[in-house]
Structure 1
Amino acid sequence: MSLPPLALSLQWARFDGVALHRAALPRHKAIRWVRHALQAPAEITVRIVDTEEGRALNLSYRGKDYATNVLTFDYARPPEAPVVSADLVLCAPVLEREAAELGKPLAEHYAHLLVHGTLHAQGWDHETSAEDAEAMEALETSIMEGLGFANPYGPTD
């Protein structure tokens, strides 16, 4: 399978426990996980932040006063632009807490949220309707299974 080209910048904020997160999200894996979710060439920056920065960005851009797991800022996407251009901001403490609650390895949760954010950068939206949410979840599940992970939304039976 031929995957779209990707220029990826991986940025790390300074926060307690950053070494655990760097180990769970090495650059080569971030590139692999994002590329598998792409449907077009892309230039994407992934920034891993602490709770304070995640909360400030969520409040500033979405009006929600809490740190969320992933924020997607899409600047251009095909067909209007030749490449997907986006920033994905992942809040490390939120991902760590969610992974523990879900009983999943941190790396697997990073993979899921990178896939999820990359789909958002290409126009997928799970908040517009139940049908859109179902379609996006099905695509995420297919991508995650193709990467060797389980269905991120749990068993389907």
Structure 2
Amino acid sequence: MAKVLIQHASTQWPPIDKSIRKAAKLTLSEQRKGKKCEVSILLTDDNHIRQLNRHFRQQDKATNVLSFALQEGEASGVKENKRLLGDVVLAYQTIEQEATEAPISFLEHTMHLVVHGLLHLLGYDHERSEKEAERQEKKEIAILAQLGIANPYALRETV
């Protein structure tokens, strides 16, 4: 059973906590097979996520999502069956801009990024290799399909 704590650091976010929690719980239940775990999701803005990105990743720019695993090495929490997995941080303005440009719904894009960020906490890393990127994308697509959300990578393939 997954416990999902959602915190608001920005008032810009619409009331979508229920959908975020649904995406998070489905992702965690799919991957953790009923094992207890906890995650925190922080809904913030571009300025805050830029500060975090600069401090932890040495990238002085805003991004849509950041994941912070509590254990050293993202996959170690899963291997050691730890209950506290980590934090996912989402930036409102970047997500809104990406959704508008795509064009896709803000809610569906946010849910995709929740799934994406949680998979990072569970050991997936699309930056490691092309094979790992394909593995993560396939997992995201499968989870999103269960949420009634179309393949977000299909848009990229048609452009």
How high is the TM-score relative to the length of structure 2? 0.86
Q: Is the 8 A contact 1:73 1:88 kept in 2?
A: yes
Pair 1:6-2:2 in alignment: yes
Instruction: Name 2:60's counterpart in structure 1.
Output: 65
CA RMSD of aligned residues (A): 1.6
Q: Is the 8 A contact 2:99 2:105 kept in 1?
A: yes
Instruction: Name 1:49's counterpart in structure 2.
Output: 44
Report the identity percentage: 34
Structure 2 residue identity aligned to 1:109: H
Instruction: Name 2:14's counterpart in structure 1.
Output: 22
> 2: CA distance between counterparts of 1:61 and 1:75?
13
Q: Secondary structure at the match of 2:86?
A: strand
Q: Is the 8 A contact 2:99 2:109 kept in 1?
A: yes
Structure 2 residue identity aligned to 1:36: L
> 1: CA distance between counterparts of 2:97 and 2:112?
14
Instruction: Name 1:122's counterpart in structure 2.
Output: 122
Q: CA deviation at 1:14?
A: 3.0
> 2: CA distance between counterparts of 1:82 and 1:90?
23
1:108-154 Cα shifts (integer Å, max 9, x gaps): 00110000001000000000100000110011011111110000111
Structure 1: gaps of 5 or more residues:
none
> 2: CA distance between counterparts of 1:84 and 1:146?
25
> 2: CA distance between counterparts of 1:52 and 1:71?
13
Structure 1 residue identity aligned to 2:113: L
Q: CA deviation at 1:49?
A: 1.0
Q: CA deviation at 1:72?
A: 0.2
4+ residue stretches of structure 1 with deviation over 2 A? 81-84
Which of 127-136 and 31-40 deviates more?
Answer: 31-40
How high is the TM-score relative to the length of structure 1? 0.87
